[in-house]
Amino acid sequence: MKPRIFYTKPSITENDVRLVTDAARNGWGPRCYEFIERFENQFKDHLGVRHAIATSSCTGALHMGLAALGIGPGDEVIMADTNWIASAAPITYLGAKPVFVDILPDSWCIDPELAERAITPRTRAIIAVHLYGNLCQMDRLLEIGRRHNLPVIEDAAEAIGSRWHGQAAGSLGRFGSFSFHGTKTLTTGEGGMFVTNDTDLYERVLTLSNHGRARGQTKQFWPELVGFKYKMSNIQAALGCAQMERIEELIGRKREILAYYREHLGRLPGLSLNPEPPGTVNGAWMPTVVFAPETGITRERLMEAFKAENADARVFFHPLSSLPMFEEEPRNRHAWDIPSRAINLPSYHDLCEADLERIVGTIQSLLGRTDR
């Protein structure tokens, strides 16, 4: 059997191990927040945002941000039907309802026009998720938000390295959230980040993130409200600091891999890959191929071909509205159709040329071509 190709794997260096070891040995007592603060500062600098709070997950960052916006029972939050459940779950934690709208067929991100049409008097926010590194149409969404006085939130967990006309994904909305799960471009094992340029919102989330204890409070053990416990540990943050030292390299390699797929698959008829419209940079978290219906290539055939090659393949996200706990919205045509003829391709820092050739070859032979 050929060696297995994983779909993703973190890149861990000696320096990463050195910083984590330092945190485990020395990061206690007066130094117990040292790496956390350093990681937050590095991340803020990278994104060009004013405030950042490291969290235990992106889910937690979203939960606190939505809570700080006052979202609660009876409220609606609009988002794309095509997403991982982590973007929707925090809405339900607060007793609010996620309203799922269809995606654009080329970027697989929320359709701004449908988002606007879904606005009701109960709507409290729109969540823009930059799917697989592809950018949402931020100009349109921000304009709709301004017109209807609704905050636009960016779940940028998949968009480290993605840029919209010079601005980093996650820095454009009322707040942004990131994930450092082991599958993401930068990892701390598990972890996340809340970022914002809104100082009042930052202060509210900071209080929420500390079990409701305001930072100016001098009385010990005195929460002012019921908050959350979604903190990142200093040890995890140490890994984040080390990873941030080579963030450009981590993103660069992701982009190289997408470019490779684009070069070898991009011109084949009946197949599309992650787009990168003019003025944008795609952080290329997850290269994805979508086949045109005429090709007859289905998810099942793709999974089979990858299995035979001993390569991991990840299915395109099922529409959230097809899951048992939500109401079905089959009129979200693209969200319901595209997953049946799409697949995520392997992408990680240490993926070698021979592995990439095997992946490309698998897809070319499915399409009945070999141009090598």
Ligand X SMILES: *Cc1c(COP(=O)(O)O)cnc(C)c1O
* Chain contacts with ligand X (rule: CB under 6 A): 57-59, 84, 86-87, 129, 155, 157-158, 179, 181, 192
Measured torsion, CA atoms of residues 236, 285, 76, 197, in degrees rounded to the nearest 10: 60
Pairwise CA distance, residues 362 & 302, whole Å: 9
Are the C-beta atoms of 342 and 316 separated by less than 8 Å?
yes
CB of 182 to ligand X, least distance (A): 9
Q: Which secondary structure element, helix H or strand E, spans residue 353, and what is its range? A: helix 353-366
Nearer to ligand X, 265 or 286 (CB): 286
State the nearest-atom distance from the C-beta of 153 to ligand X, in Å: 11
Q: Decide whether 134 or 272 has the Cβ nearer to ligand X.
A: 134
CB of 68 to ligand X, least distance (A): 17
Decide: 345 and 261 in contact? Cβ < 8 Å: yes
**Min dist. Cβ of residue 8 to ligand X (A):** 11
179 or 207: CB nearest ligand X: 179
- Of the two residues 87 and 288, which places its CB atom closer to ligand X in the complex? 87
The residue length of the chain stands at 372
Place of tokens 């004013």: 50
Minimum CB separation of residue 293 from ligand X in Å reads 27
Q: How far is CA 149 from CA 45, 90, 144, 286, in A?
A: 29, 22, 8, 33
Nearest CB to ligand X, comparing residues 5 and 186:
186
Nearer to ligand X, 84 or 316 (CB): 84
- The strands making up 51-55's β-sheet, listed across from edge to edge, are 51-55, 192-196, 176-179, 152-155, 123-129, 76-80, 97-101
Between helix 14-26 and helix 234-244 the angle, nearest 10°, is 150
Q: At closest approach, how far in Å is the CB of 1 from ligand X?
A: 30
